[in-house]
Structure 1
Protein backbone atom coordinates (compact mmCIF):
# COMPACT_ATOMS: atom_id res chain seq x y z
CA UNK A 1 0.00 0.00 0.00
CA UNK A 2 1.38 3.37 -0.93
CA UNK A 3 2.13 6.00 1.64
CA UNK A 4 -0.58 8.29 0.19
CA UNK A 5 -3.23 5.54 0.57
CA UNK A 6 -2.18 4.89 4.17
CA UNK A 7 -2.39 8.58 5.03
CA UNK A 8 -5.74 8.94 3.22
CA UNK A 9 -7.17 5.90 4.98
CA UNK A 10 -5.96 7.16 8.36
CA UNK A 11 -7.55 10.57 7.77
CA UNK A 12 -10.86 8.96 6.75
CA UNK A 13 -10.86 6.74 9.85
CA UNK A 14 -10.11 9.70 12.11
CA UNK A 15 -12.88 11.79 10.54
CA UNK A 16 -15.37 8.91 10.84
CA UNK A 17 -14.43 8.39 14.49
CA UNK A 18 -14.93 12.10 15.23
CA UNK A 19 -18.36 12.06 13.56
CA UNK A 20 -19.40 8.97 15.53
CA UNK A 21 -18.25 10.52 18.82
CA UNK A 22 -20.12 13.76 18.06
CA UNK A 23 -23.30 11.79 17.23
CA UNK A 24 -22.99 9.82 20.46
CA UNK A 25 -22.62 13.01 22.48
CA UNK A 26 -25.68 14.54 20.79
CA UNK A 27 -27.78 11.46 21.56
CA UNK A 28 -26.84 11.59 25.26
CA UNK A 29 -27.45 15.34 25.40
CA UNK A 30 -30.92 14.82 23.93
CA UNK A 31 -31.76 12.05 26.40
CA UNK A 32 -30.54 14.21 29.27
CA UNK A 33 -32.54 17.26 28.14
CA UNK A 34 -35.74 15.37 27.28
CA UNK A 35 -35.71 13.52 30.60
CA UNK A 36 -33.64 15.24 33.29
CA UNK A 37 -33.70 18.82 32.03
CA UNK A 38 -37.48 18.82 31.66
CA UNK A 39 -38.02 16.86 34.89
CA UNK A 40 -35.92 19.38 36.85
CA UNK A 41 -37.63 22.36 35.21
CA UNK A 42 -41.08 20.96 35.99
CA UNK A 43 -40.15 20.52 39.67
CA UNK A 44 -38.65 24.02 39.92
CA UNK A 45 -41.67 25.69 38.30
CA UNK A 46 -44.42 23.29 39.42
CA UNK A 47 -45.28 22.89 35.73
CA UNK A 48 -47.67 19.95 35.61
CA UNK A 49 -48.03 20.00 31.80
CA UNK A 50 -44.25 19.80 31.30
CA UNK A 51 -44.02 17.03 33.89
CA UNK A 52 -46.82 15.06 32.23
CA UNK A 53 -45.19 15.47 28.80
CA UNK A 54 -42.10 13.47 29.77
CA UNK A 55 -44.16 10.42 30.75
CA UNK A 56 -45.50 7.89 28.25
CA UNK A 57 -49.19 7.16 28.72
CA UNK A 58 -48.14 3.52 29.10
CA UNK A 59 -45.85 4.43 32.00
CA UNK A 60 -45.65 2.42 35.22
CA UNK A 61 -44.51 4.04 38.47
CA UNK A 62 -43.06 1.89 41.26
CA UNK A 63 -42.43 3.38 44.68
CA UNK A 64 -39.99 1.20 46.60
CA UNK A 65 -40.57 3.19 49.78
CA UNK A 66 -44.34 3.24 49.44
CA UNK A 67 -44.59 -0.33 48.22
CA UNK A 68 -47.02 0.54 45.46
CA UNK A 69 -47.36 0.48 41.70
CA UNK A 70 -49.31 3.18 39.86
CA UNK A 71 -50.33 3.70 36.28
CA UNK A 72 -49.74 6.93 34.34
CA UNK A 73 -53.07 8.52 35.20
CA UNK A 74 -52.98 7.79 38.94
CA UNK A 75 -49.36 8.85 39.30
CA UNK A 76 -49.79 12.14 37.46
CA UNK A 77 -53.07 13.00 39.22
CA UNK A 78 -51.10 13.10 42.47
CA UNK A 79 -48.74 15.73 41.05
CA UNK A 80 -51.58 17.72 39.50
CA UNK A 81 -53.33 17.91 42.86
CA UNK A 82 -50.14 18.67 44.83
CA UNK A 83 -48.84 21.32 42.44
CA UNK A 84 -52.19 23.09 42.12
CA UNK A 85 -52.17 23.80 45.88
CA UNK A 86 -51.20 27.51 46.22
CA UNK A 87 -49.20 26.78 49.38
CA UNK A 88 -47.01 24.23 47.56
CA UNK A 89 -43.38 25.32 47.30
CA UNK A 90 -41.23 24.40 44.34
CA UNK A 91 -38.23 22.14 44.79
CA UNK A 92 -34.98 21.67 42.96
CA UNK A 93 -34.18 18.17 41.82
CA UNK A 94 -30.76 17.12 40.56
CA UNK A 95 -29.77 13.83 38.98
CA UNK A 96 -26.52 11.91 38.70
CA UNK A 97 -26.12 8.58 36.92
CA UNK A 98 -24.51 5.28 37.77
CA UNK A 99 -25.31 3.51 34.52
CA UNK A 100 -26.93 4.02 31.12
CA UNK A 101 -27.67 1.26 28.64
CA UNK A 102 -29.12 2.27 25.27
CA UNK A 103 -30.60 0.78 22.13
CA UNK A 104 -32.08 2.54 19.11
CA UNK A 105 -35.36 3.26 20.89
CA UNK A 106 -34.90 2.37 24.58
CA UNK A 107 -32.76 3.67 27.44
CA UNK A 108 -32.20 2.22 30.89
CA UNK A 109 -30.80 4.73 33.41
CA UNK A 110 -29.92 4.01 37.01
CA UNK A 111 -28.82 6.82 39.28
CA UNK A 112 -29.20 8.97 42.37
CA UNK A 113 -31.36 12.06 42.77
CA UNK A 114 -31.30 14.88 45.29
CA UNK A 115 -34.32 17.04 46.05
CA UNK A 116 -33.58 20.43 47.64
CA UNK A 117 -36.38 22.38 49.27
CA UNK A 118 -36.95 24.76 52.15
CA UNK A 119 -38.66 23.21 55.14
CA UNK A 120 -41.30 25.02 57.21
CA UNK A 121 -38.67 26.78 59.35
CA UNK A 122 -36.99 28.27 56.26
CA UNK A 123 -33.95 25.98 56.34
CA UNK A 124 -32.83 24.00 53.32
CA UNK A 125 -33.61 20.30 53.46
CA UNK A 126 -32.27 17.55 51.21
CA UNK A 127 -33.84 14.26 50.26
CA UNK A 128 -32.01 11.53 48.34
CA UNK A 129 -33.05 8.42 46.49
CA UNK A 130 -31.90 5.82 44.01
CA UNK A 131 -33.87 5.50 40.79
CA UNK A 132 -34.16 3.31 37.74
CA UNK A 133 -36.02 4.62 34.70
CA UNK A 134 -36.73 3.06 31.34
CA UNK A 135 -37.20 5.55 28.53
CA UNK A 136 -38.66 5.01 25.08
CA UNK A 137 -38.35 7.24 22.05
CA UNK A 138 -41.88 8.47 21.21
CA UNK A 139 -42.44 11.09 18.52
CA UNK A 140 -38.73 12.01 18.70
CA UNK A 141 -38.81 12.59 22.50
CA UNK A 142 -37.48 10.33 25.23
CA UNK A 143 -40.35 9.49 27.57
CA UNK A 144 -40.52 7.53 30.81
CA UNK A 145 -42.17 4.12 30.49
CA UNK A 146 -41.07 2.82 33.91
CA UNK A 147 -39.94 4.80 36.94
CA UNK A 148 -38.76 3.13 40.15
CA UNK A 149 -37.23 4.86 43.14
CA UNK A 150 -36.36 4.18 46.76
CA UNK A 151 -34.21 5.66 49.49
CA UNK A 152 -33.03 2.10 50.20
CA UNK A 153 -34.05 2.27 53.87
CA UNK A 154 -32.59 5.79 54.14
CA UNK A 155 -29.14 4.58 53.06
CA UNK A 156 -29.00 6.87 50.00
CA UNK A 157 -27.36 10.12 51.04
CA UNK A 158 -25.09 12.97 49.98
CA UNK A 159 -22.13 10.61 49.59
CA UNK A 160 -24.18 8.32 47.32
CA UNK A 161 -25.11 11.33 45.21
CA UNK A 162 -21.54 12.58 44.91
CA UNK A 163 -20.17 9.15 43.95
CA UNK A 164 -22.52 8.95 40.96
CA UNK A 165 -21.53 10.72 37.73
CA UNK A 166 -22.75 14.14 36.57
CA UNK A 167 -25.05 13.97 33.55
CA UNK A 168 -22.45 15.77 31.42
CA UNK A 169 -19.91 12.95 31.94
CA UNK A 170 -21.77 10.35 29.88
CA UNK A 171 -18.59 8.46 28.93
CA UNK A 172 -18.31 7.41 32.59
CA UNK A 173 -21.80 5.93 32.96
CA UNK A 174 -22.64 4.61 29.48
CA UNK A 175 -22.26 0.83 29.31
CA UNK A 176 -22.57 0.26 25.56
Structure 2
Protein backbone atom coordinates (compact mmCIF):
# COMPACT_ATOMS: atom_id res chain seq x y z
CA UNK A 1 0.00 0.00 0.00
CA UNK A 2 1.40 3.43 -0.85
CA UNK A 3 1.90 6.06 1.86
CA UNK A 4 -1.09 8.25 0.90
CA UNK A 5 -3.42 5.23 0.90
CA UNK A 6 -2.05 4.07 4.24
CA UNK A 7 -2.72 7.50 5.79
CA UNK A 8 -6.23 7.49 4.34
CA UNK A 9 -6.88 4.03 5.85
CA UNK A 10 -5.29 4.80 9.23
CA UNK A 11 -6.47 8.40 9.74
CA UNK A 12 -9.17 9.77 7.46
CA UNK A 13 -11.54 6.82 7.11
CA UNK A 14 -11.57 6.06 10.86
CA UNK A 15 -12.02 9.79 11.57
CA UNK A 16 -15.14 9.92 9.37
CA UNK A 17 -16.44 6.61 10.76
CA UNK A 18 -16.00 7.84 14.34
CA UNK A 19 -18.24 10.83 13.62
CA UNK A 20 -20.83 8.74 11.79
CA UNK A 21 -20.88 6.03 14.48
CA UNK A 22 -20.51 8.35 17.53
CA UNK A 23 -17.40 6.33 18.42
CA UNK A 24 -15.34 8.23 21.01
CA UNK A 25 -12.69 5.52 21.31
CA UNK A 26 -12.10 5.33 17.55
CA UNK A 27 -11.75 9.10 17.41
CA UNK A 28 -9.19 9.06 20.23
CA UNK A 29 -7.32 6.10 18.71
CA UNK A 30 -6.22 7.99 15.59
CA UNK A 31 -4.33 10.52 17.74
CA UNK A 32 -1.08 10.10 19.65
CA UNK A 33 -1.19 10.29 23.43
CA UNK A 34 0.85 13.49 23.28
CA UNK A 35 -1.38 15.16 20.66
CA UNK A 36 -0.83 18.91 20.30
CA UNK A 37 -4.01 20.75 19.28
CA UNK A 38 -3.93 24.35 18.10
CA UNK A 39 -7.16 26.24 17.52
CA UNK A 40 -6.01 29.29 15.58
CA UNK A 41 -9.34 31.15 15.73
CA UNK A 42 -9.33 31.03 19.55
CA UNK A 43 -5.55 31.40 20.06
CA UNK A 44 -5.70 28.21 22.10
CA UNK A 45 -3.29 25.29 22.52
CA UNK A 46 -4.40 22.02 24.13
CA UNK A 47 -2.63 18.69 24.40
CA UNK A 48 -2.74 15.09 25.55
CA UNK A 49 -5.52 13.12 27.19
CA UNK A 50 -7.43 16.13 28.61
CA UNK A 51 -7.84 17.52 25.09
CA UNK A 52 -8.76 14.14 23.55
CA UNK A 53 -11.34 13.37 26.23
CA UNK A 54 -13.00 16.76 25.83
CA UNK A 55 -12.90 16.59 22.03
CA UNK A 56 -14.41 13.10 21.82
CA UNK A 57 -17.10 13.88 24.44
CA UNK A 58 -19.16 15.84 21.92
CA UNK A 59 -20.11 12.62 20.07
CA UNK A 60 -22.27 11.06 22.82
CA UNK A 61 -23.93 14.46 23.38
CA UNK A 62 -24.88 14.60 19.71
CA UNK A 63 -26.21 11.05 19.84
CA UNK A 64 -28.22 11.78 22.98
CA UNK A 65 -29.76 14.84 21.28
CA UNK A 66 -30.73 12.70 18.29
CA UNK A 67 -28.41 14.65 15.97
CA UNK A 68 -26.41 13.00 13.22
CA UNK A 69 -22.92 14.31 12.53
CA UNK A 70 -20.41 13.77 9.81
CA UNK A 71 -17.14 15.11 8.54
CA UNK A 72 -15.43 15.03 5.15
CA UNK A 73 -11.91 16.04 4.17
CA UNK A 74 -10.10 17.52 1.19
CA UNK A 75 -6.36 16.92 1.11
CA UNK A 76 -4.45 19.80 -0.49
CA UNK A 77 -0.81 18.96 0.23
CA UNK A 78 1.24 16.11 1.67
CA UNK A 79 4.91 16.10 2.60
CA UNK A 80 7.07 13.34 4.12
CA UNK A 81 10.39 13.33 5.93
CA UNK A 82 13.21 11.29 4.39
CA UNK A 83 12.41 8.16 6.46
CA UNK A 84 8.72 8.30 5.45
CA UNK A 85 7.67 7.99 9.11
CA UNK A 86 6.52 11.58 9.58
CA UNK A 87 4.07 13.36 7.31
CA UNK A 88 2.44 16.76 7.14
CA UNK A 89 -0.88 17.34 5.41
CA UNK A 90 -2.98 20.42 4.77
CA UNK A 91 -6.54 20.60 3.61
CA UNK A 92 -10.13 21.50 4.32
CA UNK A 93 -12.79 19.79 6.37
CA UNK A 94 -16.54 20.03 6.11
CA UNK A 95 -18.56 19.54 9.30
CA UNK A 96 -22.01 18.07 8.65
CA UNK A 97 -25.05 17.77 10.89
CA UNK A 98 -28.69 16.71 10.85
CA UNK A 99 -30.99 17.54 13.74
CA UNK A 100 -34.09 15.46 14.50
CA UNK A 101 -36.23 18.07 12.72
CA UNK A 102 -34.27 17.88 9.47
CA UNK A 103 -34.61 15.36 6.66
CA UNK A 104 -30.95 15.07 5.66
CA UNK A 105 -27.47 15.70 6.90
CA UNK A 106 -26.02 18.91 5.46
CA UNK A 107 -22.84 21.00 5.65
CA UNK A 108 -22.67 23.36 8.65
CA UNK A 109 -19.18 24.75 8.37
CA UNK A 110 -15.73 24.48 6.87
CA UNK A 111 -12.22 24.71 8.20
CA UNK A 112 -8.65 24.78 6.95
CA UNK A 113 -6.39 22.27 8.73
CA UNK A 114 -2.74 21.32 9.16
CA UNK A 115 -1.86 17.95 10.65
CA UNK A 116 1.41 16.36 11.62
CA UNK A 117 1.33 12.57 11.34
CA UNK A 118 3.77 9.95 12.52
CA UNK A 119 3.94 6.19 12.41
CA UNK A 120 3.57 4.39 15.71
CA UNK A 121 3.92 0.61 15.44
CA UNK A 122 3.27 0.79 11.66
CA UNK A 123 0.05 2.81 12.09
CA UNK A 124 -0.26 6.50 11.20
CA UNK A 125 -1.43 8.77 14.04
CA UNK A 126 -2.10 12.50 14.35
CA UNK A 127 0.41 14.18 16.68
CA UNK A 128 -0.33 17.78 15.64
CA UNK A 129 -3.75 19.15 14.71
CA UNK A 130 -4.25 22.80 13.86
CA UNK A 131 -7.21 24.46 12.21
CA UNK A 132 -9.15 27.64 11.61
CA UNK A 133 -12.51 28.47 10.03
CA UNK A 134 -12.66 28.72 6.25
CA UNK A 135 -15.14 30.65 4.13
CA UNK A 136 -16.08 27.98 1.57
CA UNK A 137 -19.15 26.45 -0.02
CA UNK A 138 -19.68 22.85 -1.12
CA UNK A 139 -18.59 23.49 -4.72
CA UNK A 140 -15.36 25.13 -3.57
CA UNK A 141 -14.78 22.33 -1.05
CA UNK A 142 -15.06 19.62 -3.68
CA UNK A 143 -13.34 21.69 -6.37
CA UNK A 144 -11.23 19.06 -8.09
CA UNK A 145 -9.18 18.08 -5.04
CA UNK A 146 -8.72 14.75 -3.28
CA UNK A 147 -11.98 14.43 -1.34
CA UNK A 148 -12.47 11.84 1.39
CA UNK A 149 -16.09 11.26 2.37
CA UNK A 150 -18.18 8.30 3.43
CA UNK A 151 -21.15 7.11 1.43
CA UNK A 152 -24.45 8.03 3.12
TM-score w.r.t. the length of structure 2 is: 0.82
Which has the bigger relative contact order, CA under 8 A and spacing at least 6?
2
Checking the alignment, whether the CA contact within 8 Å between 1:129 and 1:157 is kept in structure 2 is no
2:10 is aligned, of 31, 34, 50, to 34
Checking the alignment, whether the CA contact within 8 Å between 1:97 and 1:111 is kept in structure 2 is yes
Whose Rg is larger?
1
Rounded Cα–Cα distance in structure 1 between residues aligned with 2:58 and 2:34: 22
Which deviations, in whole Å up to 9, do the C-alpha atoms of 1:79-132 show, x marking residues without a partner? 343223322533121111110001211110000111221146415441111111
More helix by share: 1
Rounded Cα–Cα distance in structure 2 between residues aligned with 1:88 and 1:133: 30
How much does 1:28 deviate? 1.4
How much does 1:37 deviate? 0.5
How much does 1:139 deviate? 0.9
What residue in structure 1 maps to residue 127 of structure 2? 145
- Structure 2 gaps, min length 5: none
- Structure 1 gaps, min length 5: 1-22, 169-176
1:87 is aligned, of 44, 58, 65, to 65
What residue in structure 1 maps to residue 78 of structure 2? 100
Aligned length: 142
More strand by share: 2
Structure-to-structure mapping, 1:144-163, within 5 angstroms: 144-152=126-134, 155-163=135-143
TM-score w.r.t. the length of structure 1 is: 0.72
